[in-house]
Structure 1
């Protein structure tokens, strides 16, 4: 039986050739020539003052909190319906995440929920482009401006998406990208911090390398330079091997996104009339990166039963993402009912650029049959 995985990275000969070049260069570690070239390319693509290539998006979020001066006792409002990396980053610096509920139609953070949560300890907002769909940045930035707050865009899932004609990753003064294996551009693992402020980028770059400058740069100096540790830093560097892969992948974003978009369009044709599920909603002022394709099942459908049947037939699926406030690690006292409902009813089905239309049609056919098997009267 043909297995249809939930996710699949689009990596091939061009990426292998780029890795071979790094091997030949003798510098596979971080902050070398390929990493610097990647940062320059990211800064140009997104029109920002600085880009820092990092080991993952969680590292980028952590460094953003440090560079923005978030400290113990502060509160940062975070989108609730997401992988909980934003809330983790707030906790890393000893501050308190405050969870904002989301829109029922898009799963992105609800600006009114954010506005209602602003208090005397609030210092900023982390919005999330939920599974590839940008949040409502015009409204969020207006709230931030009224209260003197920062806005960080968690664009982990949205490389290639747009909002009001601007590319995701350039929708807030600070943005964090992911290049994990299921993203639209990938090096297996990886991330980046993008910012309009070159000084903030410099702060993040130093902290990403144990609090010292680039060892590669210092190796080019005649004599015996001895690094000086100026900050308590972390080992968040992206290797030049991964950077080389990403340079190829960035050039392929349009091609890979077109293929994902074609899959999404076919799913809409196959599933759009089914009364037992709701398809993703994309507002007219934005486009979707389709990191994931999530359908919302009717409350009468047993999601666990559907998932078990699909997997038994070789079709990958997943629960979607998390209602962060429900995770035991936070012991949150808040209620985010929309997020909690989506957490219970969303189902992720196969979405990646390597899917054939025959596979997409098989997924659609089997999903429609299976949800009827598991729908309560």
Structure 2
């Protein structure tokens, strides 16, 4: 298949992910800008309540970004120096950094070769008396094997947390993401399932942990201004070390507006993924990630693995020349210079993640993609595979 005609007609770049902001979002934000509250106002609570309902959790606490949400989870558990937190090697830096922020040590676990999700057997092998928690990452939007991970956590008396920054709108055995672990962290970055511009959320059913997260996002202060006003007092108390990790009413207005379209957008992502599946079914040198039985993906990413020996660099560069915003998620954490120097880790620590990294590509997938754009991606991938695989 040749792309000569396609390139002449469609030169526009197609990114791997992109936000979809419409007039309803603009109106929602404008209403807040015209109101008395730009931050710590009523829109924050409205967004949190709606998010908790979608996530199937008792509490949702809005924070400045997904990294802040991860940090708040670890801090709420009192994790600190001398503690270890198990994280997958195949993830973004924030999953490990949240432990380092608290003075704890991340331990890198390998992943399942078919799904690139955290391998429960690898987790089990890393548990020590210093282990306090494991953070499961719903890579590409597919929920992890939470029953297996929960069994390990219970057996060893450690906490199971979820990095659900990819998976809002997903589910496992009918349970929504956000209700599958002790606490779950979400991101509201523009390429994620919904956006607030920037933002993050922690969900939990635990009243004490929810309050700890709220305190952590507000300098460790026990009361907010509304509580002090209700009590008729100016007095406040800093009870713990906290940060300014608050999310403004402006951001929450956008997030709340977007949340109403999450179900439709998740369905659209699934439709695009199924088109890719059908189009690539006959390609022997390329395969999508496996899907777990009973797991409903949010399809944040559509990741494929090239066959051993395929020229991944050639495929990547050809697709970029043709205007396809293909990307690679991720370089395994233990291969980055900072972690190698700080933690003394080396290549060979997580061989499955390392082999996968050499072969993976993320193809464009986002709700606003038109059918013609999906067709362009398919044509370009097939052409590139014929040339380089």
Task: Give the TM bin, normalised by the shorter chain.
Answer: over 0.9
Aligned equivalent of 1:27:
37
Aligned equivalent of 2:18:
8
Q: Contact 1:57–1:178 at 8 Å: present in 2 too?
A: yes
In structure 2, the gaps of 5 or more residues are 1-10
Q: Deviations over 1:207-241 (max 9, x none)?
A: 10112256541574586614332222101111111
SS in 2 for 1:152: strand
Stretches of 4+ aligned residues off by more than 4 angstroms: 213-216, 218-224
Displacement of 1:163 in angstroms is 0.9
Is 1:325 aligned with 2:350? Answer: no
TM-score, reference length from structure 1: 0.95
Change (3 A) 1:70 1:222: closer
Of 271, 276, 289, 1:280 maps to 289
In structure 1, the gaps of 5 or more residues are none
Aligned equivalent of 1:336:
350
Matches within 5 A, 1:54-133: 54-133=63-142
Displacement of 1:49 in angstroms is 3.0
Count, aligned residues: 374
Q: Contact 2:85–2:104 at 8 Å: present in 1 too?
A: yes
Displacement of 1:47 in angstroms is 3.3
Aligned equivalent of 1:363:
377
Change (3 A) 1:214 1:41: farther
- Matched residues in 2 for 1:157 and 1:255: separation? 16
Displacement of 1:371 in angstroms is 2.3
SS in 2 for 1:203: helix
Q: Contact 1:84–1:322 at 8 Å: present in 2 too?
A: no
Is 1:350 aligned with 2:364? Answer: yes
Aligned equivalent of 2:172:
163
Q: Contact 1:218–1:225 at 8 Å: present in 2 too?
A: no
Aligned equivalent of 2:220:
211
Q: Contact 1:32–1:216 at 8 Å: present in 2 too?
A: no
Aligned equivalent of 2:304:
295
Aligned equivalent of 1:372:
386
- Matched residues in 2 for 1:192 and 1:168: separation? 12
Q: Contact 2:184–2:202 at 8 Å: present in 1 too?
A: yes
- Matched residues in 1 for 2:61 and 2:235: separation? 23
SS in 2 for 1:329: helix
- Matched residues in 1 for 2:241 and 2:77: separation? 15
Q: Deviations over 1:177-231 (max 9, x none)?
A: 1111111111121110111111111111111011225654157458661433222
TM-score, reference length from structure 2: 0.92
Q: Contact 1:47–1:170 at 8 Å: present in 2 too?
A: yes
Q: Contact 2:85–2:107 at 8 Å: present in 1 too?
A: yes
Q: CA RMSD in A?
A: 1.6
